[in-house]
Structure 1
Amino acid sequence: MSYQTLQLAIEGRVATLTLNRPDVRNAFNESMIAEITQAFRELGQHDEVRAVVLAANGPAFCAGADLNWMKKMAGYTYEENRADAAQLADMLRAIYSCPKPVVAKVQGDCYAGGMGLVAACDITVSSEASHFCLSEAKLGLIPATISPYVIKAMGENAARRYFLTAERFSAQEALRIGFVHTVVAADALDAATADIVKALVSNSPNAVKEAKRLVQDVGGQPLTEALIADTATRIADIRSSEEGKEGVRSFLEKRKPGWLG
């Protein structure tokens, strides 16, 4: 896999996908959106990859939409705007639905559509120097396409404030509202990300995949008989799986499970 707007490195069981348009603060254009979508679909099917890190080069993580792309959009018809938004939506879904766990490593400012990128990931580690902003309202727009992911990540109450005010807020505030999971000093970002990735790749690959799907399927659902039955089926399925059986056997026999090689 080779890209014009990204860098991809696979080391061991971990793929690191890096946004690589630092001269424009890693802002989106059509090429980057298409390449991110392709990368996550392919990495999701990569047998050797057990976790994906989404990172960025340069001082900013992602500044949202590229200015030249915005200039083009200003002249779009309604149908062209719909098609353009659908491509962004496909990219976010590709990240969110990737069967591998995805860790966002946010080293710099993250604005607008960049917040959608982060929200679609499973775990986010941020530098304490980073800032966040849902800036769309300043431009007469709304963060519609990214909203399903951002609202899941920060909750409705915080979304009411930051969607409406377009305020810039700190990494500590992002931590407080639950948008990011961990905030560390800039020089500790790599180590903190590596610790999380190490935990992910130490676990059963199948269990991690199914646990990710469990959160997505169960979160926010009403507690019904159907949901209870579904969760009972899921645990029966995983207990009966090869990795489920191997995990229990290795625990009882006090040895490492087979997926650790």
Structure 2
Amino acid sequence: MTALVGRDRARGIATLSLDSAATRNALSAALVGELADALAECGKDGEVRAVVLTHSGATFCAGADLRDPPDPDALVALLRQIVALPKPVVARVTGHVRAGGLGLLAACDIAAAATTATFAFTEVRIGVAPAVISLTVLPRADPRAVARHCLTGERFDAAEAVRVGLLTAAGDDVDAVLAPVLDGLRKASPQGLAETKRLLTAKVLETIDREAADLTALSARLFSSDQAREGMTAFLERRDAAWAL
């Protein structure tokens, strides 16, 4: 079976690539499982100083795969794994990010994107809420800005993503933006990186452990609702949902 996550390593940096371009790298149960396995291997590998999470195709991640959605508990576990990994995780984005993809982005320690990338919290448009991904998004993002974007589902650009705290930086050449970052990570000690990351992520992990059960229950309830069924059907049929005015 074709791998959904590509793997590479060079000079202490492991690169994991979401490689399901045909589904716009949507978070299927299979992709979530493969990514979790790859991250676990990176965490145990003493030669890996940091992890770059990137993608093939024009979309970093389109959110949950509506045809094969991951279990909410598995998605929480993946987000927590990124936050708790004892090595920095750096997002490298050259395409578009939607819904659950923003949860992945926010779980990373550092995130950079090309200026052509676009972003949107599209959950409200299919009748659900960004419940699970709020665990990583809310600690990162400006409250006023995230309220607008989550409530409207409108697209915003990389400059706005930087302004509100979802990206560290953006530029025409994302690799040029990340070059000094990766150079700095290579010069840092493994112990220093691990303990510094532990300090930076402690409150996020506390929030995940405290609120995950309630939010996964909310997600499951919303996805099984009549409005969600209509919203997902409308999305797959490329039409407006029944409630759209």
Tell me if both proteins adopt one fold, taking TM over 0.5 as the criterion: yes
Contact 2:124 2:151 in 1 (8 A): yes
For 2:183 and 2:203, locate their aligned partners in 1 and report how far apart those are by CA, in whole Å.
Answer: 26
For 1:218 and 1:89, locate their aligned partners in 2 and report how far apart those are by CA, in whole Å.
Answer: 16
Contact 1:3 1:35 in 2 (8 A): no
Contact 1:44 1:98 in 2 (8 A): yes
Deviations 1:213-235 (A, max 9, x none): 1112268x9xxxxxxxxxxxxxx
For 1:216, give the aligned amino acid. T
For 1:103 and 1:218, locate their aligned partners in 2 and report how far apart those are by CA, in whole Å.
Answer: 19
Q: Match of 1:28?
A: 27
- Higher deviation after alignment, 149-158 or 86-95: 149-158
For 2:142 and 2:83, locate their aligned partners in 1 and report how far apart those are by CA, in whole Å.
Answer: 17
Query: Could you tell me which of 126, 129, 133 is aligned with 1:139?
Result: 126
Deviations 1:121-162 (A, max 9, x none): 000011000010110000010011110101111132222222
Q: Match of 2:111?
A: 124
- In structure 2, the CA distance between the partners of 1:213 and 1:140, relative to structure 1 (3 Å rule), is same
- In structure 2, the CA distance between the partners of 1:87 and 1:218, relative to structure 1 (3 Å rule), is closer
For 1:8, give the aligned amino acid. R
In structure 2, stretches of 5+ residues that fail to align are 207-245
After TM superposition, where is structure 1 displaced by more than 4 Å over at least 4 residues in a row?
none
Deviations 1:22-44 (A, max 9, x none): 11211111100111111112211
- RMSD over aligned CA atoms reads 1.9
For 2:9 and 2:80, locate their aligned partners in 1 and report how far apart those are by CA, in whole Å.
Answer: 22
Q: How does 1:203-222 map to 2 (within 5 A)?
A: 203-217=188-202
For 2:155 and 2:25, locate their aligned partners in 1 and report how far apart those are by CA, in whole Å.
Answer: 18
For 1:94 and 1:24, locate their aligned partners in 2 and report how far apart those are by CA, in whole Å.
Answer: 23
Which is higher, the Rg of structure 1 or of structure 2? 1
Q: How does 1:176-187 map to 2 (within 5 A)?
A: 176-185=163-172
For 1:30, give the aligned amino acid. A
* TM-score (normalised: structure 1): 0.75
Q: Match of 2:184?
A: 199
- In structure 2, the CA distance between the partners of 1:194 and 1:133, relative to structure 1 (3 Å rule), is same
Instruction: Tell me the CA shift for residue 11 of structure 1.
Output: 1.4
Instruction: Tell me the CA shift for residue 198 of structure 1.
Output: 1.0
For 1:206 and 1:3, locate their aligned partners in 2 and report how far apart those are by CA, in whole Å.
Answer: 36
Instruction: Tell me the CA shift for residue 205 of structure 1.
Output: 1.4
For 1:33 and 1:146, locate their aligned partners in 2 and report how far apart those are by CA, in whole Å.
Answer: 14
For 1:93, give the aligned amino acid. R
SS at match of 2:201: helix
Instruction: Tell me the CA shift for residue 85 of structure 1.
Output: 0.4
Q: Match of 2:64?
A: 65
- In structure 2, the CA distance between the partners of 1:23 and 1:213, relative to structure 1 (3 Å rule), is same
| 1:189 pairs with 2:183 | no
Contact 2:170 2:177 in 1 (8 A): no
SS at match of 2:68: helix
Instruction: Tell me the CA shift for residue 3 of structure 1.
Output: 7.0
For 2:24, give the aligned amino acid. R
Instruction: Tell me the CA shift for residue 194 of structure 1.
Output: 2.6
Query: Once the two structures are aligned, what percentage of the paired residues are identical?
Result: 39
